[in-house]
Structure 1
Amino acid sequence: MPTTWLGEGRFGTGMLQLWQDADPGQDPVDLVPAGEIPPGHHHVLDGYDADDVAVSVIHEDSPALRRMAVFDVLVNNADRKGAHILPMADGHRYGVDHGVTFHTEPRLRTVLWGWIGQPLTGEELTGITAVREGLEADLGEALAEHLSPAELLALRRRCDDLSETCVFPGPAGDMPAVPWPVF
């Protein structure tokens, strides 16, 4: 996530992020002709474009997007669209627009479903453990200023669930699995 802070604006307190110039030559999430998944990418879903041509939504298989997918599970991101991933020239990926997060009920809606059922890496599990431990210390205190006790409890449970299963989850709850529009 780009450098982010709380600030006062015309409409009150809100989140501000440092502007990032994304690399227009990279598409971490893309549409391709149906079934033509390029190497190094994961299939997400199939559909039809505006001309009624069959297409597949894909995303790259990169460590940067995996980290973002784990983050999205933890914060229960209900709005990870393709356009909410900014590709940088150096391969870094910034996730932006986290306004629909931390709900107490399962609301995960994302275009990053390519790792469903795959094992989490040791590094990912270490990160989840660090978040869980932080919730009992400074991180928990800082988040308590912005989240309800129920939202913090749900975050703890998501950390615990990932630590127990050690795999990327699939869709759950009553929400559609993918946000609309996808991009």
Structure 2
Amino acid sequence: MIPKSELISSGEITVVGRLVDASNATLLANIKDCDPKVEIIYKPVAGERPLWDFPDGDLASREYSAFLLSLMAGFNLVPFTVLRDGPFGYGMVQEWIDIDETVDVVEYGQSDGDQLRKLALFDAVINNADRKFGHLLIDNQGVLKGCDHGISFHSEDKLRTVIWQFSSLPLDPEEITLLNKVSALNLEQIFNEYLTASEISALRQRVNELLATAVFPEPSQLRPAIPWPPV
């Protein structure tokens, strides 16, 4: 049997619909002629809406960078993601996660579970400017994943999230270990094609600061700390 990752990376994409709530073109698609069905999210670069503070046409690269960091440092919070061609051009393709529809993501997102703590730390590392409740994906086994990381890795502090309940709490040994794993990576080599030199430098600086303070960051007092809308 062909691994799902290989099918997502190179299989023919058939678009079946669009997620209309998304601000950028976000397409639900299948990998053609697969049994069982392999569902994906496809975000073509051509469908990205320009932002004043992020370069045009690189949100897909930031999504992929979030996956790489999650994978290589052991966070394991981002669904399998690739950059590849599709029916509407080059873009990001990500594994679809079947969620548990009985979970209230707003209630879940205000809880204090270990998985949510790890996601809050991950967002601080990648400088996620758009962590909404709707970006929390809890599957039928209770495993948490996060999606929509296109507005991340800016060189300036832009952390905006609905997960602030851990602010100022000490990092536990497992969280320190995750940060040390990020610190040990050759970030310049890994992200050279996807992020600017200043963004990579800022990524390393954020990790160093988190290790030095050993606490979760606090919301900014100089700008909005929660994305709008929050869901």
In 2, the alpha carbon distance for the partners of 1:124 and 1:142 equals 22
Aligned pair in 2 of structure 1 residues 101, 173: CA closer, same or farther (>3 Å)?
farther
Of 63, 67, 80, 1:3 maps to 80
More strand by share: 1
Cα distance, 1:14 vs structure 2: 1.9
Q: Normalising by structure 1, what TM-score?
A: 0.79
List alignment gaps of at least 5 residues for structure 2.
1-77
Say if 1:132 and 1:159, in contact at 8 Å, map to a contact too. Answer: yes
Say if 2:105 and 2:134, in contact at 8 Å, map to a contact too. Answer: no
Match of 2:136 in 1: 85
Aligned pair in 2 of structure 1 residues 103, 122: CA closer, same or farther (>3 Å)?
same
Please tell me the root mean square deviation across aligned C-alpha atoms, in Å. Answer: 1.6
% identical aligned pairs: 43
Match of 2:178 in 1: 127
Q: Normalising by structure 2, what TM-score?
A: 0.63
In 2, the alpha carbon distance for the partners of 1:29 and 1:133 equals 34
**Matched letter for residue 104 of structure 1:** S
In 1, the alpha carbon distance for the partners of 2:139 and 2:164 equals 21
Residue 75 of structure 2 corresponds to residue 24 of structure 1: no
Cα distance, 1:77 vs structure 2: 0.2
**Matched letter for residue 218 of structure 2:** G
Aligned pair in 2 of structure 1 residues 60, 28: CA closer, same or farther (>3 Å)?
farther
**Matched letter for residue 159 of structure 1:** V
Residue 118 of structure 2 corresponds to residue 70 of structure 1: no
Say if 1:132 and 1:160, in contact at 8 Å, map to a contact too. Answer: yes
In 1, the alpha carbon distance for the partners of 2:192 and 2:124 equals 19
Q: Trace 1:13-162 onto structure 2 (pairs within 5 A).
A: 13-30=90-107, 59-134=110-185, 137=186, 139-162=187-210
In 1, the alpha carbon distance for the partners of 2:205 and 2:162 equals 23
Say if 1:117 and 1:170, in contact at 8 Å, map to a contact too. Answer: yes
In 2, the alpha carbon distance for the partners of 1:157 and 1:11 equals 37
**Matched letter for residue 107 of structure 1:** K
Higher relative contact order (CA 8 A, sep 6+): 1
In 2, the alpha carbon distance for the partners of 1:28 and 1:119 equals 25
Aligned pair in 2 of structure 1 residues 87, 142: CA closer, same or farther (>3 Å)?
same
